[in-house]
Structure 1
Amino acid sequence: MMLVFGRTGQVATELAHLRPDATFLGRESVDLTTPGACADAIRAHSPEVVINAAAFTGVDKAEDEEHTARLINAEAPAAMARACVEMGVPLIYISTDYVFDGSGTAPWRPGDAPAPLGAYGRTKLEGEEAVRDAGGTHAILRTAWVFSAHGGNFVKTMLRLSETKDALNIVDDQVGGPTPADAIAAACLTIAERLAADPALTGTYHFAGAPETSWKGFAEAIFARAYRQVAVTGIPTAEYPTPAARPLNSRLDCGSTEAAFGIAQPDWRSGLDRVLAKLGALRTGDTE
């Protein structure tokens, strides 16, 4: 049996589509601000594998609520990891590009030194460290720029804005790989299966979409595929201040993930088409 922490988030929702037989624990079932409850849930369900797809993902909100973010992103995963060691089951912990400071232009490798810029990245990094320190079979999967047909994400925001705006200023100096949530979910299932068979695959991995683009480039692709007439002007991050600093370089080197698990980087453009189709916003034949 597969136990998933998270039920309504982007990745958890996609996992439910792929593995409806799994058990999903949402906020109504387990309070992640009470780490002990997470460990109790693992003991009660006796799963064969645990996926932690729940997180405090409000990057700006975390600046004011770091204590709560730490409970959910670090202390709860720590309790999960210890319980998984106790039960002898593998744990998959979904992490983020925000553990890096975004310097340079080279894709970040799993072994590169983390240096988070804000509370969200700090607490996710603490979660990674806790999972490693527990000493059990695990995979830490860092991803970036997640999008899907549900929840809050950049694609849905752009579509909403296009209903009332015909011109937008979008940041053009942050570069990364938009990642479809359904691809992350599928990757988690593959990793879970392989990890159970070969605990030596324990480690930290990256998984993000290709090819690299900026938020401006992503927005332009969304409007083109949805046939929305919106003029996009690129601006630097400095002209769009936010409470939490964003990494300029969110490129992730995913080579070790493909080598270990046979999982190639997903083409985010195909993922975008899938999402737009689900939202009834995809227009084909108009943008060629």
Structure 2
Amino acid sequence: MANILITGANGQLGTELRNRSFSLLDDVFYTDIEELDITNFKAICSFIETHDIDTIINCAAYTAVDQAEEDEEKAMKLNRDAVANLANAAVKLDCLLLHISTDYVFDGTSDHPYTEKDPTNPQSVYGRTKLEGEQAIKKSGCLYLIIRTAWLYSGYGHNFVKTISRLASERDELNVVNDQWGTPTYAGDLAEAIIRIMERDDLPELEGVYHFTNEGACTWYDFAKEIVAITGAKCKVNPVTTGEYPSKAKRPAYSILDKTKIKETFDLEIRDWREALKSCMATF
């Protein structure tokens, strides 16, 4: 039995966790800013003590990658400082912290899928603040699991799948970047994996950093073409280069994550990104 606190519960991953069932023996408390301000250390400690929390799943983050370049203070507050608060509260009150991080901690220059042991080198404010959140967790001395993911989408909130689906119904053509490689991740599949992980009794022995995405790899152009095909729209998708589609924040050109560690440690089977995409879009 566990008492689980989920932060950022109104986001994509948090909502997918709400829609799934933890163990019947677990009590799960879903919170977002209205219920718990994780930038307030005392408020976190009070909540943990009041509800006898022993596990924290942190889904909260500042994820507006381009906006972060202009609002570094806000990104730092949520991606580093709030995470440090959760980690320090976990140490003080003896909790496990499971934290969601990102492929943006890497620079995107690799020629092989990134493992958990590869050196980090973020190229954007978003990536740097997320890495500093990871570092704050390790520095705190709390018991932790960090799961890095990438290209997250769901049927909720704002994401690439929903945006492309909408634009494909409104336009005859779309230009999409074809020189950035990664793996789309259905938040529902990540939620299922987290629940599986929470069922383990030996988590203190499995502390560390893990990678999770769906299987396979593609470019944003490939991803968009698959989305449009599933919608049945007649919209043409054109491949363009990153240089033709400039953005404020630098994106990794290659951010495929190696999932060997999480699959072997937790005996997970992960489905291909195309299969997961069809499953998600069927719920729209």
TM-score (norm 1): 0.92
1:243 aligns with 2:248: yes
Q: Deviations over 1:115-158 (max 9, x none)?
A: 00111011100110111112222110000000111111110000
Aligned residue number for residue 18 of structure 1: 20
Q: Is the 8 A contact 2:38 2:85 kept in 1?
A: no
Post-superposition shift, 1:190?
1.9
Larger mean Cα displacement after TM superposition, 38-47 or 144-153: 38-47
Q: Deviations over 1:193-224 (max 9, x none)?
A: 32x53311000000011210000000111111
1:27 aligns with 2:33: yes
Larger mean Cα displacement after TM superposition, 156-165 or 77-86: 77-86
Aligned residue number for residue 4 of structure 2: 2
Post-superposition shift, 1:35?
4.2
TM-score (norm 2): 0.94
Partners in 2 of 1:144 and 1:268 — Cα distance?
12
Provide the secondary structure at the position in 1 that maps to 2:148. Answer: strand
Aligned residue number for residue 157 of structure 2: 151
Post-superposition shift, 1:34?
3.1
1:229 aligns with 2:244: no
Partners in 2 of 1:136 and 1:32 — Cα distance?
17
Post-superposition shift, 1:84?
1.3
Aligned residue number for residue 272 of structure 2: 267
Larger mean Cα displacement after TM superposition, 38-47 or 50-59: 38-47
Matches within 5 A, 1:62-211: 62-194=68-200, 196-211=201-216
Provide the secondary structure at the position in 2 that maps to 1:22. Answer: strand
Aligned residue number for residue 276 of structure 1: 281
Larger mean Cα displacement after TM superposition, 29-38 or 202-211: 29-38
5+ residue gaps, structure 2, are none
Provide the secondary structure at the position in 2 that maps to 1:205. Answer: strand
5+ residue gaps, structure 1, are 280-288
Aligned residue number for residue 52 of structure 2: 46
Aligned residue number for residue 282 of structure 1: none
Q: Deviations over 1:54-99 (max 9, x none)?
A: 1111101111111111111111111111211222221100000000
What is the one-letter code of the residue matched to 2:53?
Answer: P
Aligned length: 278
Q: Is the 8 A contact 2:45 2:93 kept in 1?
A: no
Post-superposition shift, 1:100?
0.5
Partners in 1 of 2:49 and 2:77 — Cα distance?
20
